[in-house]
Structure 1
Amino acid sequence: MRKRRITALVMALVLGVAAFSGCGKKDADSKYKVYYVNEDQGEILAESFLPSEEKTSTMVDEMTDKLNKKNAEGHTLLPNGVQIRECVNDDGMLLVDFTPEYRELNPVDEVLLRASIVKDYVQIPDIYLVTITVVGEPIVDSQGKEIGAMSLDNFLENTGKEIMAYQYKELNLYFTNEEGNQLVPETRQVYYNGNTPIEKVIVEQLLRGPGESGHYATLPSDTRIVGVSVADGIAYVNLGEQFVDEALPVDAQIPVYSIVNSLIAAGNVSQVQISINGDTSLVFKDEVDMNQLFQVNHELEKGGED
């Protein structure tokens, strides 16, 4: 039942499907929507939202009131006693503050609720961004970093397609030791947009840096990801010039094999090509020829051997 509910929720939220059981053509054609979860049957209902006037402050108040209440059929978006405490509009950025029960949501339900809240409020004229807090405290991601203001773009894949599903995966990421001469493994649980290649997620996580004591970053955190793709067992990672220009003070092979070993550990590829703005002709730190397909290097791993 839980799997069915999550699948239905994702489909309704991100595809904008307005007709599940109980929803007719009138709802499908209405200008504004509010999304509800039928927890008993694991379904999503998209209902018409008809404000008394198309004035931003009025619509925010009426949307909030509607989200906080069950409808006539007992359907609600907000689970487990979660309620919206207040909404404050700051020149197009809407702060939505929740009750403490929000923090009790599991990660899947939390990210889906977050997506739906953004989707609901940015329908309102002159609301462009949504920031979520819980009793005044900013919400954070799985790494403890503040999420901040969100728009619909936060829930879109770079191909322009909306989210189809979130997935969980345990990643084995490789950072470095204090001396910068060995790779150290770090296990990390992540949930991510199922349309995004896991290889891109891995590079993004490496750029976030390590989360364990004694582990150190291998890549400049502001390195731009130009693109990540996979074909025939090879991951093609195209990075911005920051990878070279702002390279960290570690051995030359460490940044390269931090990427390579982390990607290959995921199990989908056996080789990695790294380019800088599409160019593989450079020699990184005057030591590592980038014009090659890299394979896993266990010798660089702490306690490892090839």
Structure 2
Amino acid sequence: MALKEGKFRKAIVMVIVLIVLVPCAFLLYDSMVSSGEEKVEFYYMTSDGVMKPVEKDIRGENTEDILVTTLNTLKGGTTTEGMLPSIPAEVEFLSVGVINDNAVIDVSNGYHRMKNTEEVICRASIVWTLTSLDFIDGVVLTVEGQPLRNNNGVEFGPMDRNNVVIEPQISAETTEYAILTLYFANNEGTDLITEERVIEVNANQTREKTILEQLIAGPEELDAQRTVPLETKIRDVTTTNDGICYVNLSQDFVAKHVGNEMAEKLTIYSIVNSLCELDGIEKVQFLIEGKKVDQFKGNLEIKTPFAAISSLKGLEANQG
């Protein structure tokens, strides 16, 4: 009887030991894999308009500690020459967590006070920096506890390196970030307005072609309208040493256009102004299927190169 009681007591002790040690072992393992040093790529905008990474080592006791340290380091900027801070001072990080391998970051309402360009740079910088961590697949941003939404009111949801870029199919070895100033029509169709956009561009593709692609894709802002028919195809675009950019477009550029004098001017000058934002381009010459044509849709002559204008209203006044 005593022998059985002894065995029973030993069994009870073993169960207690397992209950105590197994959770400790998991905690120890989690601590080992979650703490230590992480190599992080911090993405900043450069003074020449491209986003590039600066690699640093970050230490932390656990995943959340590493995330907090990474975000604070990103906000603090870098001493690397030519690199600009990507997170404004008024944007504060209120809470940080990890859910299903997504970093969930709640920021202050200062996020909504950023200009469009600043917001895009800030968001891209956060997403690309945090997803350089091995344990983060995506990023969810909230503002004062509310989901971050785009200009159409749709929630962004989890963001990663595939859905914060325009051309995700291009390999990382041939891409870089760039800020483009694009011109679209205002909602009244009376003048041009600008939209600054941060995109990932192919380093092997000319910036002129990228601008044309973005114009064809149309505006992202609610107060703007597209100016170039969606069916338009880019046959070629070349800039010569004398500062003239030759834009060769498909016949759809003319055939699919709605016509009328104001619409034609909005289309032509949205392309001209957008391209003339680039250094080295002074004027734009249009070609249709490789040939110069006299008129666009019967209202505007396009046989000679166009220079950028400050506004269509000023152009109308000068012509008047």
Q: Structure 1 length as normaliser, TM-score?
A: 0.51
For residue 196 of structure 2, what is the aligned residue in structure 1?
190
Letter in 1 for 2:107: T
For residue 230 of structure 1, what is the aligned residue in structure 2?
239
For residue 295 of structure 1, what is the aligned residue in structure 2?
306
CA positional deviation for 1:280: 2.5
Letter in 1 for 2:319: E
CA positional deviation for 1:47: 0.9
Q: 3-state SS of the aligned residue for 1:98? A: strand
CA contact (8 A) 1:199 1:235 kept: no
In structure 2, the CA distance between the partners of 1:136 and 1:231, relative to structure 1 (3 Å rule), is farther
Q: 3-state SS of the aligned residue for 1:204? A: helix
Letter in 2 for 1:132: L
For residue 67 of structure 1, what is the aligned residue in structure 2?
67
CA positional deviation for 1:66: 1.0
Measured in 1, the distance between the counterparts of 2:247 and 2:140 equals 32
For residue 117 of structure 1, what is the aligned residue in structure 2?
127
For residue 165 of structure 2, what is the aligned residue in structure 1?
154
CA positional deviation for 1:175: 3.0
CA contact (8 A) 1:226 1:238 kept: yes
Letter in 2 for 1:47: D
The percentage of counterpart residues that share the same residue type is 15
* 74, 77, 90: which one aligns with 1:77: 74
What does residue range 105-144 of structure 1 map to in structure 2 within 5 Å? 108=118, 111-112=121-122, 114-121=124-131, 123-124=133-134, 127=137, 130-134=139-143, 135-138=145-148, 140=150
CA contact (8 A) 1:209 1:216 kept: yes
For residue 22 of structure 1, what is the aligned residue in structure 2?
none
| Unaligned runs of at least 5 residues, structure 1 | 1-29, 38-43, 52-61
Q: CA RMSD in A?
A: 5.6
CA positional deviation for 1:77: 3.0
- Greater alpha carbon shift after TM alignment, 77-86 vs 218-227: 218-227
What does residue range 1-306 of structure 1 map to in structure 2 within 5 Å? 33-35=39-41, 46-47=56-57, 63-69=63-69, 76-78=73-75, 81-89=92-100, 94=102, 96-100=104-108, 103=111, 108=118, 111-112=121-122, 114-121=124-131, 123-124=133-134, 127=137, 130-134=139-143, 135-138=145-148, 140=150, 149-151=159-161, 154=165, 160-163=173-176, 173=183, 175=185, 184-186=191-193, 188=194, 190=196, 192=198, 197=207, 200-201=210-211, 204=214, 208-209=218-219, 217-220=226-229, 229-232=238-241, 233-237=243-247, 243-244=253-254, 246-251=256-261, 253-254=264-265, 256-263=267-274, 266=277, 268-274=280-286, 279-281=289-291, 287=298, 292-296=303-307, 301-305=315-319
Q: Structure 2 length as normaliser, TM-score?
A: 0.49
Q: Which has the larger radius of gyration?
A: 2
Number of equivalences: 244
